[in-house]
Amino acid sequence: GGSKGDVPEDANAHCPGTQSEEAGKADSCAGCPNQQICATAPKGPDPDLVAIAERMATVKHKILVLSGKGGVGKSTFSAQLSFALAEMDHQVGLLDIDICGPSIPKMLGLEGQDIHQSNLGWSPIYVESNLGVMSIGFMLPNPDDAVIWRGPRKNGLIKQFLKDVDWGEIDYLVVDAPPGTSDEHISIVQYLQATEVDGAIIVTTPQQVSLIDVRKEINFCKKVGVPVLGVVENMSGLRQAFTDLKFVKPGLAGEIDATEWAMNYIKEKAPELLSVVACSEVFDSSKGGAEKMCHEMGVPFLGKVPMDPQLCKAAEEGRSCFADQRCSASAPALKSIIDKLIKTK
């Protein structure tokens, strides 16, 4: 193959490379399945990468939040990480590049907001004066509309977010990526390659079916040169205040709500139970969970966050779990992880 640019896997022998001026025109290109594409594609470095580097020059730290599977709480973690950094008086931006499943507007309480443009570019939507958000969710006329896009169009929007959003001078840009290792991940790494990404946080749940894909995510980061800042084990057991539990009596006709009866009985017979926190293992972690996997793969383990119904409620309502004492099971765990992350960086 040639020494200039990339050489496709199915290219002919002596391929000059896709970025060469001879691409698609050299004698060795005859009969190659890529000949027409190479001949018409623009050559040389992408000029937009210069614009992205200039825009990102005002961002001190860039953190990707990744997951191997969907539904592990990645966006919830991204949202609460952004809330926490903002509450530490940092200037924070949260960029949602989950093009087909943008949940960040909901989790930040920003549904129904519209993007505004100025001579400086697209303006983020602000939760607080030091927490700005950008998502395709702000661009959909109807929140129920499906985004049915192929890779190139997704990549184009990600590039536009990085090139045109006016974040200003900020301390942290948190990038919430879709699950897996698809076009969006390759694009964000490629577009930010010259801007020094701090690294990636990978979110998982404890069971093996999730950890299998997290290993792939870690290997992806290693291959593309993105440091793994650490792995977070989310939904690590259920923790719930005893007073928040509901009780049912099973019967032939179905279940009967017995919560009021049970609580009255406990108040009378065992009131000390009312201050107890109920714990349960929801997912199988008998194989050691994320902590063991991190030890095996040589990446940092940041900590565990229990499954907390109050945290789920905070996400649904678009608010910080650190603003009050309701998320007593999850907020301290998240705070410990974020403190560890800040100390590391």
List the alpha helices (DSSP H) in the chain. Answer: 35-40, 47-56, 74-87, 104-107, 151-164, 183-192, 208-224, 259-269, 289-297, 309-317, 331-344
Structure tokens at 78: 């991204």
| 62 labeled part of a ligand binding site | no
Compute the residue count for the chain: 345
Greater confidence (140 vs 231) lies with: 231
| 251 labeled part of a ligand binding site | no
| 71 labeled part of a ligand binding site | yes
Q: What is the mean pLDDT of residues 222-242?
A: 93
| 312 labeled part of a ligand binding site | no
pLDDT of residue 345: 60
Residue corresponding to tokens 């919430």: 176
Residues paired with 126 in a beta bridge: 132
Q: Which domains does the chain have, with CATH numbers?
A: 1-44 (no CATH), 48-237+282-344 (3.40.50.300), 239-280 (no CATH)
Q: Three-class SS string for 89-103?
A: CCCEEEEECCCCCCC
Residue corresponding to tokens 């929007």: 157
Q: How many CA atoms lie within 13 A of 256 on its CB side?
A: 9
**End-to-end Cα distance, the chain:** 41
Highest mean pLDDT among 112-116, 179-183, 201-205, 282-286: 201-205
Please determine, for residue 250, whether its predicted confidence score (pLDDT) is greater than 50. Answer: yes
Q: What is the mean pLDDT of residues 37-59?
A: 83
Please determine, for residue 7, whether its predicted confidence score (pLDDT) is greater than 90. Answer: no
Please determine, for residue 4, whether its predicted confidence score (pLDDT) is greater than 60. Answer: no
pLDDT confidence band for 62 (50 / 70 / 90): very high
pLDDT confidence band for 41 (50 / 70 / 90): low
Please determine, for residue 153, whether its predicted confidence score (pLDDT) is greater than 60. Answer: yes
| 74 labeled part of a ligand binding site | yes
Cα–Cα distances in Å, from 317 out to 108, 109, 237, 245, 330? 8, 6, 23, 21, 16
Element (H, E) at 232: strand 228-241
| 32 labeled part of a ligand binding site | yes
Spatial separation of the C-alpha atoms in residues 142 and 202, rounded to whole Å: 31
pLDDT of residue 44: 64
Residues paired with 67 in a beta bridge: 203
| 29 labeled part of a ligand binding site | yes
| 38 labeled part of a ligand binding site | yes
pLDDT confidence band for 36 (50 / 70 / 90): confident
The angle subtended at Cα 187 by Cα 9 and Cα 291, nearest 5°, is 100
pLDDT digits (tens, 9 = 90+) for 314-323: 999 999 999 9
pTM here is: 0.84
Please determine, for residue 344, whether its predicted confidence score (pLDDT) is greater than 80. Answer: no
Spatial separation of the C-alpha atoms in residues 345 and 335, rounded to whole Å: 15
Name the DSSP letter for residue 298. T
pLDDT confidence band for 22 (50 / 70 / 90): confident
pLDDT digits (tens, 9 = 90+) for 158-214: 999 999 999 999 999 999 999 998 888 988 998 998 888 999 999 999 999 999 999
| 68 labeled part of a ligand binding site | yes
Structure tokens at 338: 């974020």
Q: What is the mean pLDDT of the chain?
A: 91
| 277 labeled part of a ligand binding site | no
Spatial separation of the C-alpha atoms in residues 127 and 319, rounded to whole Å: 10
